[in-house]
A and B are shown apart, each in its own frame.
Chain A
Amino acid sequence: MTMIAGAVGRLVDHFESGLDAPICLTWELTYACNLACVHCLSSSGRRDPRELTTSECKALIDELQRLQVFYVNIGGGEPTVRGDFWELVEYATAHQVGVKFSTNGSRITDEVAARLAASDYVDVQVSIDGATAEINDAVRGRGSYATALRAMERLAAAGFVGFKLSVVITRQNAGQLDEFKALADRYRAQLRLTRLRPSGRGADVWDQLHPTAAQQRQVYDWLVAHGEEVLTGDSFFHLSAFGQPLPGLNLCGAGRVVCLIDPVGDVYACPFAIHDEFLAGNVRAPGGFARVWRDSELFLELRRPQSGGACASCGLFDKCRGGCMAAKFFTGLPVDGPDPECVLGHGERLLAARGDVPAPKPSIDMSRRTPRRTRAKVVSVAEVGPLPARPCDESPVAGVSIG
Chain B
Amino acid sequence: MATERETDRGRFTITQSQRDRIARFVRKFRSNTKAMLGFSIVVLLVLVAIFAPIIAPYPIDATNIEDRSQAPSVEHPFGTDDLGRDIFSRVVMGSRISLYVGFGAISGALAVGAVVGVVAGYAGGLTDEILMRVMDAAMAFPPVLLALTLLVVLGPELSNVVIALAFVYTPYIARVSRSAALAERNEAYVEAAVARGESDSRIVFSEVFPNCMAPMLVQGSLNVSFAILAEASLSFLGLGAQPPRPSWGLMINTGRGFMETAPWMLLFPALAIGIAVVGFNMLGDGLRDVLDPKVEAIE
> A and B, one complex?
no
Chain B contact residues, CB within 8 Å of chain A: none
